[in-house]
Structure 1
Amino acid sequence: MEFLLISGMSGAGKSQAMKVMEDMSYYCMDNLPPALLPNFVELCYELRKDIDKVAVVVDIRSGEFFDHLFKGLEELKTRGITYKILFLDAADNVLIKRYKELRRPHPLNPEGSISEGIKEEREMLNEVKKRADYIIDTSNLTLGMLKEEMSNIILKGKKSRNISISVISFGFKHGTLLDGDLIFDVRFIPNPFYIPELREFTGKDQNVKDYVFGWPETNIFISKTIDMLEFLIPHYTREGKTQLILGIGCTGGVHRSVAIANKIAEILTANGHRAAVDHRDNRLK
């Protein structure tokens, strides 16, 4: 019997993951009290003719989480029952955005700050994450991408691409990108803002891209940046980092940084990485 325990951060996509497992013909149980875990698995083993693949979601909704969960897992081990743990995670800013969009409070801090609830939950789930066999960062994943990732690691046995890369353009005049892991300043490239016929366009438009990439230093910068990232990413992955945020900054965050951020994300994706792009200060359409 294949038994998968799904856990992770609230808002990281555990409900969606359970639906994916159902599509993979797993028998699924959501929010199982950890104290009942051994008995539930034993029951599934007794009915193995009908149930051969099981997935269970266990998280902080269960209240006294750790006392019962780890005791339950130890009991499974004692009984010779093997299991895998899938941990779903996402960046704090993404989780906060999801909570705000759904207008939901954090379950650990329903009357207070969402960020404080997330911080507390991370501390509670730290040991579960350490024990996880698979870690998927859903920060930049659509449901279709999550399904593909889970299929790769669970059905096909491939190693999870467990680092997601966010390439974010911004303007220094609006403040630096506070949560960036690596910040690149591209203000050394001539500014299209001072070209009257380009001012009202953005780095998404072809005429601005032609101007920005018409300078040799732009292409040299991108080449050297990609080389550095290809060196760093495997080392970040090895150390357990699940998200890398790259900040690309120019003066206003509309022209140079937008064009370059798009290009870097495009190259990283073509190289097989999971990369997404966002433009923090691009206000022009």
Structure 2
Amino acid sequence: MTATTSSATATAREPRAPRRGARGRAAAGPLVIRRRPRRNRRSVTLTVLTTVMLVYTLLPLAWLVINATKTQEGLFRSFGLWFDGDFALFDNIAGTFTYGGGIFTRWLLNTLLYVVVGAGGATLLATIAGYGLAKFDFPGKKAVFAVVIGAVAVPGTALAVPTFLMFSNMSLTNTPWAIIIPSLISPFGLYLMWTFASDAVPDEILESARVDGAREFQTFFRISLPLLAPGIVTVLLFTVVATWNNYFLPLIMLKDPDWYPLTLGLNSWNAQATTAGGEVIFNLVITGSLLTIVPLIAAFLLLQRYWQSGLAAGSVKG
């Protein structure tokens, strides 16, 4: 009897073999699955296309920088994509600002005037109108949307002749207003701010501000305007580039060289080579073109962080 009990006790104390299956794995501990790190896929086609686009974009800029360092004679005796023996960049810059009695400075100031008043006013109007169309309901809103979309689809050159006839009847041609007033209208900027304000400014924030007794102007300037900063910068850059590079409208509106922007003034310098008795100053034209794009590059670099914050704001949702 005693031997039987001892053998039973010993049998009960013997460890059991682990069972296969889910319970057995749970008793043995958590199952660790090691995943291999994913390797970044490299697309040869995408790399080639990116390289081609990079070369296509930077090659004209490199040509402009290189040839701005050459004299008038050096432009014709050297290879276009390499430097000449005479480094004349600073002489060309000085000659650009002094040639023709310093008319290049006048053209630069005219361009700044058109950009500050025209592009700045277009951005302000697009911001206010886009915010109002996005956050307020009123009769005829769909008709306004159709008009805005239609205005975006119409090219500016198609409106050049009607605009000239209208301003001619008002005796505004050959004046700065002939460039500033048309620049105040930006259908694409209005549409961009309309779509951006619809998502960037939550309706709950506006309702909370109204419940607290804030007026619409206070709500717009204190709450909505900071949220619209990335969209405002985007519209500002588009309108600044469009106004800065505007050529066709000043060509048909202006006759007085004192009101020329940089685009029209540099073209008049370039046209001297084809006129009888005109002075050939290709080196000054190239240097002036280089000086013309420097402010645009600086504006893009300084305002780049606002663009990046706007793209990141739309990628994360609460």
Common fold: TM-score over 0.5: no
Structure whose CA Rg is larger: 2
When normalised by structure 1's length, the TM-score is 0.23
Greater relative contact order (Cα < 8 A, sep 6+): 2
Which has the larger share of helix? 2
When normalised by structure 2's length, the TM-score is 0.21
